[in-house]
Chains A and B, each alone.
Chain A
Amino acid sequence: MEKLELKSVYKDYVQGSVKAVIDLSLSQKEGELLAILGPSGCGKSSTLRMIAGLEVITKGEIYLDGEVINWLSAKERNIALAFETYALYPHLTLFENIAFPLRIRGLKDQEVRKEVKRIAEMVDLTPALDKFPSEVSGGHQQRTSLARALIRPASLYLLDEPLSHLDAQQRTEFRVQIKRIQKTQNLTMLFVTHDQLEALALADKIAILNLGVLQQIGTPEEVYEYPENLFVADFVGEPPMNFIKVFLVKEEEDYVAKLYNQKVKIPESYKDSIGRFYKGNSTEIILGIRPIYIYISESAKDQFISGEVYVFEDIGESGILTVQIGNALVKIELSPGYSFQLGEKVNIVFDLGKILIFDPTTGERIKPKIPQF
């Protein structure tokens, strides 16, 4: 069932001179964890605030549980918020901060205690409940804010950069907790983040925004393996994807990408789409390939490309090799144990099944005939 639905939503500021969100349509199913991902200024916070009712919608409709909620105040929407800027009450203990939404509803003290205990257990806050916000770490504060949102039943839980104030280790720990809670309680949760790793790790679905426009909505696998355009391909994944500008050449019936006098065969499945795109031997395309899908050639039978070691970085759990081919630099992620010298000649192999092709003018991905998913 659709829990949340946005239909052609717009948000303008300053009498239309700033278009923060443009024609945004998306939907979220019950029990789904949706991430809205994008760089600063992409419109993700405006979107969240419109859903929450903290911001008026310029145009379009927002549905929650099948009802239009455009004109409902934030209080009237059955939505719980854990906002980055949603400060905790400094004069209340963590316990009372969490209990607050229940207290204002006039719940009996005994019930409040039971509920706070249950939620605190869930977010690992039990030992700190008697402390004041100023006495605990940023991580505990963020947990408290989440607990306060989770304590009452709601149709939808909105989280604004829930992990932003935590150090790297707390972040991975808390990420695990949020996912556990969301899945075991079957909550419908929407969070915004600028951190693509966070979105990949946590979400069931990711909506990627740039300059107010939806670029792609899909599962983490879809946006990672099959990005719709260059923006998504570039924004998602670490180390970042390699983009290599090459000329497309037709050799008899095959299309090949020419990379400084070397050739990469374009897979058969692209024949139709690339054929339509091909406009003679000066046609340019952009090859996209993730560093993890390039290998060091181990056999003379491989269709390899030769280059020189530009630099090699051993970072313990992996090795990052940068290879220079003509003027292009290509990064390769290797398993531990490799070692290279500057300038050394290397032969590398692209996993042809993982190559992506983009139109350099529009940035859109040119897709193969056999769908990759």
Chain B
Amino acid sequence: MEVLRLENVYKNYGEVEAIKDLSFSCEEGELFIVLGPSGAGKTTTLKMISGLEEITKGKIFIKKKLVNTLEPKDRNISMVFEDYALYPHLTVYKNISSPLEAIYLPKDEIDKKIKEIAHLLQIEELLSRLPSMISGGQKQRTVLARSLVKEADEYLMDEPIAHLDAKLRYQMRGEFKRLQEIRKMNILYVTHDFREALSLGDKVLILNKGVTQQIGTPQEIFNKPANTFVANLVGDPPTNLIEGVLKAKDGQYFFQVGSVSISLSQSLVDKLLSKINQEKLIIGIRPFDLYCYLDNKDNAKILNTEVYVSEIVGHYNIISIKLDDTIVKIREDKSFKVSMGDKISIDFKEDKLDFFDAVLGNRIF
């Protein structure tokens, strides 16, 4: 069942169009992610849904009811912001109970709800402590508990774990995912971190400069990016985007990047030429779909190239090569050791390639 729907929503700040023609809907029990870089319009979207910002044009429905003109308090949503604030003079328990006391719920009912949410978020032992006596991660759980303890049609979350340190973020992300799998809450979750988006989302909407780039499942976003923006946003190191032209020579087919030739099969080139009316295009390929070989491997698709930089990052060796002016990254296991200047060849499977229009950046296939 549909819980939230945006229909052709716009938001202008004077001349600036912060949100352009935004439409999407969230189902019951779904965690819906809005992913984008800073300035994409993510927080503005949340504020419009919560009623903290007016919308310039369009319609917002909560449980099929038009809420454009409703006050924030009448929309039955709960919001968690990135910069959380706990009352410093109140215990964790009192901090969580404050929204329930505000609606005059009976004491025993409040108590039951708090115990339940505290159990789920594993903060039962902290309930009698003051915020100054708990860690950053525990504060974040307290904020989540306070937001989740009250009934709402949709919970809106603005980068709820972004400012935690890397370790805590890993831990909280897993905890949050488990919580959602058990509870199946209606959540709209905003983040700039692709890992959070892929890990947590049932559906992901990618926003850039107020414009929707793609809506899909995490698998669709990762495996079939709609354009070069999405391909580049999702993945670390990001998808390699290589611009070049299709060429045929002596019955061989190539993708030509400056002076570098990448071999392609005839069937692939024919398929490409049937879909586009120019030879120029962009190939996308993920760093872990490229394979490095010392010297020239027979039939490798990129021959005679050299290591530009090799960086061992933990378990992986991230090797950079230069195809003409484009730096291409390859993720190898760290046991594969190479040095700057070493001659290598590169191979890949053609079905791992994405193709994008060279001008608009849209996916061809």
- Which residue numbers of A lie inside 8 Å of B, CB to CB? 167-169, 172-173, 175-176, 179-180, 183-184, 197, 200-202, 220-221, 224, 234, 237-240, 290, 292, 310-311, 313-317, 320, 322, 331, 333, 336, 342
Contact = CB atoms under 8 A, between A and B. Distances in A.
Nearest to B37: A167
Contacts of A313: 173-174, 177, 198-200
A255 to B, nearest CB: 28
Contacts of B329: 172
A315 B198 contact: yes
A28 B279 CA distance: 52
B89 interface: no
Interface in B132-156: none
B216 to A, nearest CB: 13
Given A167-B37, A313-B173, A221 B312 contact: yes
Given A202-B311, A221-B312, A311 B181 contact: yes
A224 B312 CA distance: 10
Contacts of A234: 167
Contacts of B218: 314, 316
B174 to A, nearest CB: 5
Contacts of A179: 309, 311
A315 B194 CA distance: 8
Interface centre among B199, B222, B286, B314 (most CB of A within 10 A): B314
Size bracket, chain B contacts: 35 or more
Given A313-B199, A316-B222, A322-B174, A183 B340 contact: yes
B181 A238 contact: no
Contacts of B175: 311
A109 to B, nearest CB: 30
B312 A290 contact: no
Given A167-B37, A239-B170, A311-B177, 13 more contacts: A169-B238, A172-B329, A176-B311, A183-B340, A201-B318, A220-B312, A234-B167, A311-B175, A311-B178, A314-B218, A315-B194, A320-B174, A342-B182
B130 to A, nearest CB: 23
Interface of B: 37, 166-167, 170, 173-175, 177-178, 181-182, 194-195, 198-200, 218-219, 222-223, 232, 234-238, 286, 288, 308-309, 311-315, 318, 320, 327, 329, 331, 340
A317 B170 contact: no
B199 A315 contact: yes
A176 B237 CA distance: 12
Given A173-B327, A240-B170, A317 B236 contact: yes
B312 A180 contact: no
B37 A176 contact: no
A317 B174 contact: no
A303 to B, nearest CB: 22
5 contacts: A176-B309, A311-B175, A314-B218, A316-B194, A331-B174
Contacts of B314: 197, 200, 224, 237-238, 292
Contacts of A240: 166-167, 170
B177 to A, nearest CB: 5
B308 A180 contact: yes
A289 B145 CA distance: 32
A292 B340 contact: no
Given A180-B308, A342-B181, A317 B235 contact: yes
A320 B199 contact: yes
Given A315-B195, A342-B181, A169 B232 contact: yes
Nearest to A239: B170
Contacts of B331: 317
